[in-house]
């Protein structure tokens, strides 16, 4: 019997065994472990490597019916957890919490806006079947940072928009996410989900409000 998805703060940690650790792009890894809980697409878990040091938070990056839970993370060279996690091998144990959080995808029409590893909760939502009426805008500096792009292109077609600020390619826009949004003549009356680093989230939020999007239509998950 699977543990039920909970609204708890995710403070209790339990052991899971890593089933995979793959570097999918320089300095960016996907780790996985067998799923023992239910979750709502968009939720996060806490991860630690021991009980002495505080855990860090990570969005779940897999569909909510998949056998495995996957986490996408970038290695912060001078950080505590990610250099350790990146060196772990299948069979080793990590500590995780139950899923929690209110950044949750629904059937409603929405724009998903992310940069970098902020794609994780949106990939989970899309892999959980939330593809209808969704537009995904992903920003990255380099072309090799559009994680899962083949799947996303296949599932979302022209509603998958890649904005690359430092490199160009034929089907990818060479601009920042904010420039793309700003150039849209009339922004649709949808829910706007923002996920990624604080600077991007604040900049996009301000732009959306400036362009007439009601504040209550904007939902943000900030990776700090």
Ligand X SMILES: Cc1cc2nc3c(=O)[nH]c(=O)nc-3n(C[C@H](O)[C@H](O)[C@H](O)COP(=O)(O)OP(=O)(O)OC[C@H]3O[C@@H](n4cnc5c(N)ncnc54)[C@H](O)[C@@H]3O)c2cc1C
Least distance in Å: CB of 28 to ligand X? 8
Q: Hey, what are 140's tokens? A: 């990255």
Per CB under 6 A, 21 contacts ligand X: no
Residue 197 in contact with ligand X, rule: CB under 6 A:
no
**Cβ of 17: how many Cβ atoms within 10 Å?**
11
Q: Which residue is nearest to ligand X (CB)?
A: 79
Using CB under 6 A as the binding rule, whether residue 44 contacts ligand X is answered as yes
- For residues 215 and 224, which CB has a smaller minimum distance to ligand X in the complex? 224
Cα dist. 113→117, 129, 139, 197 in Å? 12, 18, 8, 11
Using CB under 6 A, which of the segments 1-9, 80-88, 134-142, 144-152 binds ligand X?
80-88
Check binding of 201 to ligand X (CB under 6 A). Answer: no
User: 10 Å Cβ neighbour count for 174?
Assistant: 13
Site string for ligand X, 104-123 (x = CB under 6 A): -------------x--x---
Among 15, 52, 78, 210, binds ligand X (CB under 6 A): 78
Site membership for ligand X, residue 59 (CB under 6 A): yes
Please identify, using beta-carbon distances, which residue of 85 and 161 lies nearer to ligand X.
85
Q: Is 40 in the site for ligand X (CB under 6 A)?
A: no
Residue 154 has phi, psi (to 5 degrees) of -65, -40
Specify whether the CB–CB gap between 61 and 30 falls below 8 A.
yes
SS (H, E, C) 31-42: EEEECCECCCCC
Q: Whose Cβ is closer to ligand X: residue 71's or residue 164's?
A: 71
Burial of 220 (0-12, 13-18, 19+ CB in 10 A): middle
**Pair of tokens at residue 154:** 């296949």
Residues that bind ligand X (CB under 6 A): 44, 56-59, 72-74, 76, 78-82, 117, 120, 221, 223-224
């Amino acid at each position: 019997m699977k543990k039920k998805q909970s609204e708890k703060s995710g403070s209790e940690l339990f052991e899971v065994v890593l089933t995979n650790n793959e570097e999918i792009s320089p300095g960016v890894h996907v780790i996985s472990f067998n799923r023992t809980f239910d979750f709502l697409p968009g939720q996060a878990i806490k991860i630690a490597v021991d009980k002495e040091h505080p855990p860090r938070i990570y969005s779940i990056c897999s569909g909510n019916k998949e056998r495995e839970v996957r986490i996408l993370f970038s290695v912060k060279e001078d950080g505590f957890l990610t250099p350790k996690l990146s060196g772990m091998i299948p069979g080793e144990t990590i500590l995780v919490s139950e899923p929690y959080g209110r950044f949750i995808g629904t059937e409603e029409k929405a724009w998903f806006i992310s940069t970098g590893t902020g794609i994780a909760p949106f990939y989970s939502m899309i892999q959980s079947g939330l593809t209808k009426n969704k537009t995904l805008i992903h920003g990255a500096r380099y072309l090799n940072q559009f994680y899962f792009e083949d799947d996303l292109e296949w599932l979302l077609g022209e509603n998958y928009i890649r904005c690359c600020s430092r490199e160009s390619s034929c089907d990818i826009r060479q601009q920042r996410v904010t420039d793309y949004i700003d150039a849209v003549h009339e922004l649709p009356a949808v829910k706007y989900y923002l996920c990624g680093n604080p600077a991007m989230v604040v900049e996009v939020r301000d732009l959306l409000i400036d362009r007439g999007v009601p504040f209550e239509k904007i939902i943000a998950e900030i990776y700090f």
